[in-house]
Chain A
Amino acid sequence: MSDVAERVKKIVVEHLGVDEAKVTEQASFIDDLGADSLDTVELVMAFEEEFGCEIPDDAAEKILTVKDAISFINENAG
């Protein structure tokens, strides 16, 4: 599902205004990509929008890295 990974990375680049090269799957939104708590809320909303899914608050709290987001979407979206 590389398509999901690409789309997630694109959203992260756009919303956090960071270099594409820094958006690896291991990257943590807060520790590595300079996001704050409001940015992470907005990111989750953008994922919901892009993939047409709902990410409940308790699941959203566990999405800390790019990989977490890709995994959640692969398992729950579509």
Chain B
Amino acid sequence: MSRRVVVTGMGIVCPLGAGTRAVWDRLIAGHTGIVAIDRFEVADLPSRVAGLVPMDEDHPCRFDIDAVASSKDRRRMDPFIVYALGAAAEAVEAAGLTDISPELGLRVGVQIGSGIGGLSTIAEAADTLRERGPRKISPFFIPSSLINLASGQVSIRYGFKGPNHSAVTACSTGAHAIGDAAHMIRRGDADIMVAGGAEAAVCRLGIAGFSAAKALSTSYNDTPEKASRPWDQGRDGFVMGEGAGVVVLEDYEHAKARGATIHAEVLGYGMSGDAYHITAPAEDGDGGFRSMQAALKSAGLSPSDIDYVNAHGTSTPLGDEIELGAVKRLFGEASRSMSMSSTKSAVGHLLGAAGAVEAIFSVMACAEQVVPPTLNLENPSQGCDMDLVPLTAKQRPVRRALSNSFGFGGTNASLVFGRLDQD
């Protein structure tokens, strides 16, 4: 019989703050992490809002960057790695794995991906190369920028010597990382996997690039809190976000034997490709449909077993309705009794970290029996007639939750989580 995989630790660094409990409480209370960008020059950029990780002293749950990485460490790590270390620290501590035996360390792997990696570091190094020549390139440029260095740095910090891997599938990265890590445990490659995604692409080059692809919101530069509005008629593109989500996945028997706290079980994982367009989703939503279908199949569940869908829901004119159509088609009658929301309305689109942070929100929805709101959903587009949890969170039974992630290139992943204490 296949090994069961459970979640025994969670960590979040995102625009709502740092710390899973604090972030969840703010999410449920309807707070937003989307603000006017103040870190770099934006006057010539069409989109000037983003979900930024808060670091101000007066923020209720700011990310304490100095506690995670010294100034010396930060010279050898792009911010995406620092965010990964921050989220991993919370997850690893919660799972009781900070001080483990060398023998156990051999059975703990790391699988933290990123969509883009050290984009701001690469942009700055390119400037340095052009203006001052190759001798001025830092020896830390490469290890600071490489995507798999998030996994590398986490493994070095904690002595995790099992599989060390990184998914890179644009906005599906976090979901693929968690799903693939669960498979590694099922196959017996490891007993524990520290898995998730990290992103820090909110920089001039990142905004300019996604703007050129006509992907970003541009109409709400003066009202950032209103910019991310999935399924709303006034939506006009996604809002960039940054941060990291990391979970500790563990073989169920292993977790039980060491008395670990079990937050949820990873019940299903599905993947698909669109084979359609580099940035646009297929209009019939076939890719998302097959990804969700595969996740249900792997879990051995029917549509009526799912109570909550954490949608990919990026707030783009095309994508939101296509996803909703695929959900209605797959879930049929069951779609009338379930809830679906997009937490990107509160944190923005964390790209490679999105699927990981949203997986944690899905676990929390099951654990707390509350579904988070879709902020700014004031006037739903025609046909958006499911319960999309507009504006405020809702208490309701959540036996199992499905989380969707769809990425550029036509890459889709869906995860299903459920509470352990049910049949």
Contacts and interface: CB of A to CB of B under 8 A. Distances in A.
Interface of A: 15-17, 38, 41-42, 45, 54
Contacts, number: 20
B76 A16 contact: no
B136 A45 contact: yes
A38 B139 contact: yes
Contacts of A54: 135
B72 A16 contact: yes
A17 to B, nearest CB: 4
Interface in B279-295: none
B187 interface: no
B256 interface: no
Chain B, interface size category, equals 10 to 19
Nearest to B72: A17
A42 B135 CA distance: 11
B138 interface: yes
Contacts of B139: 38, 41-42, 45
A45 B71 CA distance: 17
Interface of B: 70-72, 75-76, 135-136, 138-140, 143
A42 B140 contact: yes
Given A38-B139, A42-B140, A54-B135, 13 more contacts: A15-B72, A15-B75, A17-B70, A17-B71, A17-B72, A38-B140, A38-B143, A41-B139, A42-B138, A42-B139, A45-B135, A45-B138, A45-B139
Nearest to B70: A17
Closest A-B pairs by Cβ, 8 of them = A17-B72, A41-B139, A38-B139, A42-B139, A17-B70, A38-B140, A42-B138, A16-B72
Contacts of A45: 135-136, 138-139
A33 B138 CA distance: 20
Main secondary structure of the interface of B (DSSP, over half): loop
Nearest to A42: B139
A15 B70 CA distance: 11
Contacts of A42: 75, 138-140
B203 to A, nearest CB: 22
5 contacts: A16-B72, A17-B70, A17-B72, A45-B139, A54-B135
A54 B136 CA distance: 11
A76 to B, nearest CB: 16
Contacts of A16: 72
A15 to B, nearest CB: 7
Nearest to A57: B135
A38 B76 contact: yes
A49 to B, nearest CB: 8
A63 to B, nearest CB: 15
Contacts of A17: 70-72
A38 to B, nearest CB: 4
B76 to A, nearest CB: 7
B296 to A, nearest CB: 48
A38 B72 CA distance: 12
A15 B136 CA distance: 16
Most buried by A among B72, B76, B136: B72
Contacts of B71: 17
A45 B140 CA distance: 12
A34 B200 CA distance: 29
A50 to B, nearest CB: 13
Nearest to A34: B72
A34 B71 CA distance: 15
B265 to A, nearest CB: 42
A38 B136 CA distance: 14
A61 B422 CA distance: 64
B326 to A, nearest CB: 48
